[in-house]
Amino acid sequence: MTENKSKIYLDYAATTPLDQEVFEAMKPYFGEDFGNASSAHQFGQKARQALDKARAQVADFLGCRNEEVIFNSGATESNNLAIKGLVYKTKIQKSNVKGQNLPHIITSQIEHHCVLDTCKSLQESGLAEVTFLSVNKEGLVEVSSLEKVIKENTVLVSIMYANNEIGTVQPIEEIGKLIKKLNQSREQKIYFHTDAVQAINYLNCKVDDLGIDLLSMSAHKFYGPKGVGALYIKKGTPVKKIQDGGAHEYDLRAGTYNIAGIVGLGKAISMVNKETADRVKKLRDKLISGVLENVPNSKLNGSPEKRLQNNCNFSFPGAEGESIMMALDMEGIAVSTGSACASENLQPSHVLMALDLKLEESHTSIRVTLGKYTSDEEIDRFLEVLPKVVEKLRKISGSGQEAKKKLPDDFGC
């Protein structure tokens, strides 16, 4: 790698850099405004005012009531609370069908691990029945397929708004309309949850438009701080807290408030704007067309049209994805091979396998995700380097079997 090359970050789906304005808004709560928002004195009440302001900012973004916003540590906790909390609280009406007396959850095979593992945990503990819905080759949940697996005891549908690996945007509004229609004639109500972590920056998240009851978010995905998130819970949705302690967050999430983090989340979500999303989409389209035109035998994974404005996921048969990522990193360009939460796991991506990719093809994939600080020059540089990297790795690998070996120290383009 040439030392004077500036570093290029193209892994915004993993995390986004903290916006400077967000950092400035957070600063006072690390110092002079250090009060505990649960305290009744002036120090505490100043922190409480900041908490209330942030809650209002999130509620305004979602188009919901302030008291329907529950702050927590991030999307993993949000998804656990939404799914486990609803199952723990919901009592199943006696089913007429044998074996359908447990709460039934429907989710997709391409959800984030914190949704999949939560559902599996409930299933393995004998607390719920779970259907893991397949997707089509573009990674889309088909609403007709979802409708077919709904049962008398179905209590929850949990479908992510946009996939973190391939960027596919699911038909959330259509699913919401289906559930609303079905609930008009059902004794057992179905609730609808969406993991909207990747969607906040780019898609309409007004909860009434989507027809959802629960929505999860994480601040570090939209230029806020790490370690803080929020869960929208529509008024009247049955959710039981999953940790014991104080009565914080309407008695749904115990623990001292992370005021600095919450302030950062509120400020960050108030800065989300359509203009940024439109600019990023133009760069994404330039990147996709450039890769497909300049790298022979390359393939875009996911839906060409129904995808996030910032997401690109490619397969390059004959060049192992991990090696491509390492080679690009040596050139100062950061991308990933999939979800950051699974980066230490050498198993094939469950998302790509659900798209019916062959095992060897899934191992040749990389994810490139853009953000508001991405420039035209950075895309040009990426498009200059990537074809050389892939060509060289394909020559090294021959049949592709040797590409998993450590790159030589002098590997460069």
113-127, 272-286, 338-352, 377-391: which has the minimum mean pLDDT?
338-352
Residues 250 and 322 in one domain: no
Residues 279 and 230 in one domain: no
Residues 244 and 291 in one domain: no
pLDDT, average across residues 189-194 = 98
Give the domain CATH number at 87.
3.40.640.10
Residue 1 in domain: no
Residues 116 and 216 in one domain: yes
Residues 222 and 124 in one domain: yes
Percentage of residues in the chain having pLDDT higher than 70: 91
pTM value > 0.85: yes
Give the domain CATH number at 353.
3.90.1150.10
Residues 392 and 337 in one domain: yes
Reduced 3-state DSSP string for the chain: CCCCCCCEECECCCCCCCCHHHHHHHHHHHCCCCCCCCCCCHHHHHHHHHHHHHHHHHHHHHCCCHHHEEEECCHHHHHHHHHHHHHHHCCCCCCCCCCCCCCEEEEECCCCHHHHHHHHHHHHCCCCEEEEECCCCCCCCCHHHHHHCCCCCEEEEECCCECCCCCEECCHHHHHHHHHHHHCCCCCCCEEEEECCCCCCCCCCCHHHHCCCEEEEEHHHCCCCCCCEEEEECCCCCCCCCCCCCCHHHHCCCCCCCHHHHHHHHHHHHCCCHHHHHHHHHHHHHHHHHHHHHCCCCEECCCCCCECCCEEEEECCCCCHHHHHHHHHHCCEECECCCHHHCCCCCCCHHHHHCCCCHHHHCCEEEEECCCCCCHHHHHHHHHHHHHHHHHHHHHHCCCCCCCCCCCCCCCC
Residue 2 in domain: no
Residues 177 and 314 in one domain: no
Residues 232 and 277 in one domain: no
Residue 3 in domain: no
Residue 57 in domain: yes
Domain boundary among 240, 270, 300: 270
Encode pLDDT of 379-405 as tens digits.
Answer: 999 999 999 999 999 998 774 444 344
Encode pLDDT of 59-85 as tens digits.
Answer: 999 999 999 999 999 999 999 999 999
Residue 195 in domain: yes
Residue 162 in domain: yes
**pLDDT at residue 356, as a whole number:** 85
Residue 413 in domain: no
pLDDT, average across residues 98-102 = 74
Residues 260 and 369 in one domain: no
Residue 132 in domain: yes
Active site residues: 341
Range of the domain at 117: 20-270
Structural domains of the chain, count: 2
Encode pLDDT of 220-234 as tens digits.
Answer: 999 999 999 999 999
